[in-house]
């Protein structure tokens, strides 16, 4: 299968994640059709940096907020939004928290460009909200898991606000055929990408292909893989992700 086909099949595999239970990493979604207020772990000291992290398909912001609460730094605020419930084509039109639609299994299936752009703008609005409170973009790390990581990567590369860092877990770069032309910024921003070597949903080959593309456009890109880890997370990954965030957002 060619590179284009592989990335489109990747989109099909991600939708299956709602059928698997992976602890707090893949919690069930809410029944609301509207986007809830983000779950926030506030800084416990002077707020000088922010992490904005997007969940995967069918999940909510609650599980990831619990994780960040367990590893938080006192000067960092952690924002974990929950996507609106929308119909997901590949799941028979069932509504669930999703940043954008996943449309088809065929390698030539269209991606939901409008949905991806809308999710990117939403993330940018969350960044702007932090800037209004005195946190510059350079002191903000964005990230996400699976579908949320896809939004974080796309949003970071197609906007001109240079961020403090990007965390991309078990994910891929959507609308990849538009790159490198779509790039507007963050080519010198540290990117931490991680993937489980036993991921049955977003397969390791897709993570490797994404890593190859990112490495060609960003010299500060790091790619880590974890033996035995499926479509979830593990202590080692979270420890390394925490160190990456702490390095990007040191106390000041």
- The neighbour count for residue 44, using CB atoms within 10 Å, is 12
Say if CB 90 and CB 62 are below 8 A apart: no
Q: In the predicted model, is pLDDT for residue 223 greater than 50? A: yes
Q: How does residue 206 score in pLDDT terms, banded at 50, 70 and 90?
A: confident
Annotated catalytic residue within 75, 112, 199, 232: 199
Higher model confidence: residue 32 or residue 187?
A: 187
Q: What is the mean pLDDT of residues 70-87?
A: 97
The total domain count for the chain is 1
pTM across the whole model:
0.86
Residue 109: per-residue pLDDT:
63
Annotated catalytic residue within 98, 231, 232, 233: 231
Q: Could you confirm whether 146 is annotated as catalytic?
A: yes
Higher model confidence: residue 203 or residue 214?
A: 214
Residue 28: per-residue pLDDT:
32
SS3 call for 22? coil
Residues whose CB is less than 8 angstroms from the CB of residue 136 and which lie 6 or more positions away in sequence, other chains included: none
- Measured between alpha carbons, how far is 45 from 64 in angstroms, rounded to an integer? 21
pLDDT tens, position by position, 116-171: 999 999 999 999 999 999 999 999 999 999 999 999 999 999 999 999 999 999 99
- The neighbour count for residue 201, using CB atoms within 10 Å, is 24
Residue 29: per-residue pLDDT:
36
Question: What's phi and psi for 199, nearest 5 deg?
Answer: -70, 115
Say what percent of the chain tops pLDDT 70: 84
CATH of the domain at 235: 3.40.50.1820
Residue 90: per-residue pLDDT:
81
Annotated catalytic residue within 98, 146, 232, 233: 146
Q: Could you confirm whether 231 is annotated as catalytic?
A: yes
Q: In the predicted model, is pLDDT for residue 13 greater than 50? A: no
Q: How does residue 105 score in pLDDT terms, banded at 50, 70 and 90?
A: low
pLDDT tens, position by position, 176-202: 889 999 999 999 999 999 999 999 988
Q: Which range among 23-32, 33-42, 61-70, 153-162 shows the weakest confidence by mean pLDDT?
A: 23-32
Q: Can you give the residue range of the structural domain that contains 155?
A: 3-248
Helix runs in the chain, H state only: 3-15, 61-71, 113-132, 147-157, 204-217, 235-248
Residue 113: per-residue pLDDT:
96
Residue 110: per-residue pLDDT:
83
Token digits of residue 131: 């800037």
């Amino acid at each position: 299968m060619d590179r284009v086909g592989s990335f489109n099949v990747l989109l099909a595999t991600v939708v299956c994640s709602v059928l698997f239970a992976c602890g707090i990493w893949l919690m069930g979604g809410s029944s609301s059709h509207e986007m809830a207020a983000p779950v926030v772990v506030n800084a416990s000291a002077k707020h000088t940096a922010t992490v904005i992290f997007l969940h995967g398909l069918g999940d909510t912001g609650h599980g990831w907020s619990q994780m960040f609460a367990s590893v938080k730094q006192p000067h960092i605020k952690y924002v974990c939004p929950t996507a609106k419930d929308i119909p997901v084509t590949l799941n028979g039109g069932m509504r669930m928290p999703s940043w954008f639609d996943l449309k088809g299994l065929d390698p030539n299936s269209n991606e939901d460009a409008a949905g991806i752009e809308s999710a990117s703008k939403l993330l940018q609005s969350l960044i702007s909200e932090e800037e209004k409170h005195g946190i510059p973009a350079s002191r903000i790390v964005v990230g996400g898991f699976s579908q949320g990581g896809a939004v974080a990567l796309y949003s970071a590369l197609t906007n001109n606000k240079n961020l403090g860092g990007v965390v991309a877990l078990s994910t891929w770069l959507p609308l990849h055929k538009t790159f490198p032309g779509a790039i507007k910024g963050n080519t010198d921003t540290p990117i931490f990408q991680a993937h489980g070597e036993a991921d049955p949903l977003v397969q390791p080959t897709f993570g490797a292909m994404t890593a190859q593309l990112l490495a060609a456009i960003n010299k500060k890109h790091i790619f880590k893989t974890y033996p035995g880890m499926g479509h979830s997370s593990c202590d080692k990954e979270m420890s390394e992700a925490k160190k990456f965030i702490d390095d990007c957002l040191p106390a000041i």
